[in-house]
Amino acid sequence: MHNYFDLTGKIALITGGSRGLGREMALAFADAGADIIVSSRKLENCETVAAEVRAMGRRALAVASHAGKWEENGRLVEAAYAQFGRVDILVNNAGMSPAVPSAEVSEELFDKVVALNFKGPFRLAALISPHMQSAGGGSIINISSGAAFKPMPQVVAYAGAKAALNAMTASLAQEFGPLVRVNAISAGPFLTDISKAWPDEARRTANNAAGRPGRPEEIVTTALYLASPASSYVSGTVVRCDGGLR
């Protein structure tokens, strides 16, 4: 059978790659043949995932970097190209979604949420896309959220940042196409580390067609599809992986 998800010889950079959905994608991409750059704020956590990738027979680089900070994103790109010489797949996965009543949101918190969920992904994509063009192509995957489509209280800054991320996805696809494909995954509720703070009911059920939150590994095939040549005619779109959110 044809391996539609073959990533042999590709280099993938994943922000927020040390846990949750990021870790699942890192290991899945490695299993499909890619070498992996794992980035998050804590180097120790990145090294743990990098070791898992190396145990699969792939190369890996762990880089401590805050995805919401302009200069650190620049250093992350420099480290990636110094080690591997190219990046074929960029996954802008790092994010935060604190639920806070709008009247209690400080300017500092607002700026942090927007920086991590929108400014950082823009900076990384803007830095890496020209290199991808010069190398003959690449795929950028932005991890968005159903909050960008479905009105939700107390996450206004997060929802706004993810809506901006969706707009950016379409804009960059036009700017850097046809060689660079840019897409987004609109993720629903997933049972990642953040779900440990949810009420028990929210961990069992969800207001979607599936009737439940997703398991972290259920992001994998959507990500593999967008990263691989299987989606060669897909760009500038937002793919929902949310169990059918209502």
Q: Which residues are catalytic?
A: 144, 158, 162
Please report the DSSP string for the chain in residue order: ---TT--TT-EEEEETTTSHHHHHHHHHHHHTT-EEEEEES-HHHHHHHHHHHHHTT--EEEEE--TT-HHHHHHHHHHHHHHHS--SEEEE---------GGG--HHHHHHHHIIIIIHHHHHHHHHHHHHHHHT-EEEEEEEEGGGTS--TT-HHHHHHHHHHHHHHHHHHHHHTTTEEEEEEEE--B-SGGGGGS-HHHHH--SBTTSSPBPGGGGHHHHHHHHSGGGTT--S-EEEESS-B-
**CA torsion, points 17, 18, 21, 23, in degrees to nearest 10?**
90
- Bridge partners of residue 139, in order along the sequence: 89, 181
Cβ(138)–Cβ(128) below 8 Å: yes
Cβ(25)–Cβ(93) below 8 Å: yes
